[in-house]
Structure 1
Amino acid sequence: MDIKTIDTLCSDKTMKGRKAPPSHYTFKIKSFSWLSKASVQKCTSEEFEAGGYKWVKLLDEQRHYRSLSIYPDGNKKEGGKDHVSIDLVLVDTSSRPLDWEINAIVNFSAYNFIDDEYHITQDTDVRRFHVLKTECGVAKFIDRSTFYDSSNGYLMDDTCVFGVEVFVVKSTNRGDCLSMFEGPIPCSYTWKFTNFSSAKLDKYESETFVGGNYKWKLLLYPNGIVEGKGNSVSLFLVLDVSTLPANTKLVVENIVRAKNQKSDERHLQTKACRKFSNSNAAWGSRQLVALAKLKDPNSGFLVDDTCVFETEFTILGVMMPRTD
């Protein structure tokens, strides 16, 4: 059975010009017209490396070498009549297992002497190479009449330059699965912090409370941390990671708040949607309320030397590594 190994790209790819040469390989051919006169159906390059793989120079069953190939009169078997065709071959596959697979984005180019730039195919499709498909190309790369007309700039003094870029797409075999809860779990907690003026420790923890199937607490820095150090109160919601299954992240929409005890319209709060995990178990605000504002007797945040801090959060779902 004749196995077809050429993965032919769509014809008439949009070409865009750029000054920079192809990243991986260029192939200059002098006396190009003599290829047709000598009945050379295909002109091949030497092998090169890109993405950690060797490309071109493949020995086929008839013991002919295949490579980055230029068809001066078109690859007629692939529908390239009246065009210059180009294709690329992956080589050195004999040591790979039968189920090997390589995915890559391939862009071909032709140098335009008049524009002084490379006209490159803008192909964003990922090409899949495997044991039955080791080659890809563009059968209708450039119309022959356009190419052979020197006024178009592709063939100058019977010389032309072709190029190729191969960007291998390597899979990390990693992925996550987000499972949103059909009924998000709302949670809240209020912490009355008394004797604020007597607070001497850097940080204080609230009692542990339950939200969903997990344990949480509030963490307060009365004199702030980082950019809030010495000028603000810092407040964080903290997950007890011992209640979180391994490799699991909670997607949580969260509010931390300093409550104004004189006006429900003047609370200060920060809101965000975050993922809580073993490596990122806390979220909050380093500058929730300025100390000067909090200590102002008219502000309503400190009444009878007591502050009220709150959190309201909704557990929206869980994220775990994919297993399928």
Structure 2
Amino acid sequence: MAIGEPASLTQGALRSTSEAPPAHYILNIQQFSALTKHDVERYESNEFEAGGYKWKLVIHPNGNKTKNAGECLSVYLAITDTASLTPSWEVYATFSIFLLDQNNDTYLKVEDEKTNGRRFHRLRTEWGFDQFISFKAFSDPNNAYLVGDNCVFGAEVFVRKERSKGKTESVSMVKDAVSYKNTWKVSNYSKLNADCVSSHMFSVGDHKWNVQLYPNGKGGIGGYISLKLALAEPQNLPPGTKILAEFTLRMLDQLDTRHYYGKASYWFSASKPEWGWQRFVSHGVFFLTNRGLLLKDVCSIEAEIAIHGESRTVFG
């Protein structure tokens, strides 16, 4: 619980600290005080996509007056772009809302205690937290949530099931997911001439994967190496299947333990079979002779993957 928070804020919400950033959306607000001074009742973020639906973060900078929020910031998740759905559509989703501690590079993570998900439907398109955080804790410099009048929110949304246009989505989550590692040694790196080089296939969670390396960056961005994790055979997935994978890609320092890495969570599917970093590491760092990212023309890349869930759509 954040410093100075009243005990009442623990009701209906689970609060923790997360080192991993939110998987689906980050909202950076500069000059936050301008929202409060101009008495903006609510601020809606741009749309973002998660679980096959579009969402927005909704922030009441002065608290939601209709919900008796008191001296607290109110933050909600709203489903959007529902015009194409039938009047009886329903989406059950679990979600977390994040707030960045800018000193420690960690996040306050607030989750709904209702673990089977909230039901979003035509008459209830928003769920969230009337008392997300008290104004006192939000502005306390010891918490570093508001620094230089700037703050950063985020969101993760996981669709558990849906009922829309005669189809149902079933999500199976893994309680204690096990991580698997695979190491790929790229030999004769200086002789690579392809835009993209793929590792051998390896299996994790009943699916085959590989790592994709772009020596000169994907899309010719130049000056960087792009690195991505990909489903090796996405065309073999049943229609509507999505796999939630938490993964870390590490470029190993073969002289030291100063490995270069990126960590993320992503729903992989046939239409979105890959995810990673366009600017994973710059050429300037990669080719440093006092680093071991490239040693004797060999680059060593480790993929660590844990499957946290799988979603399948049943058409009825």
* TM-score interval, smaller chain: 0.3 to 0.5
The TM-score with structure 2 as length reference comes to 0.46
TM-score with structure 1 setting the length: 0.45
Larger Rg: 1
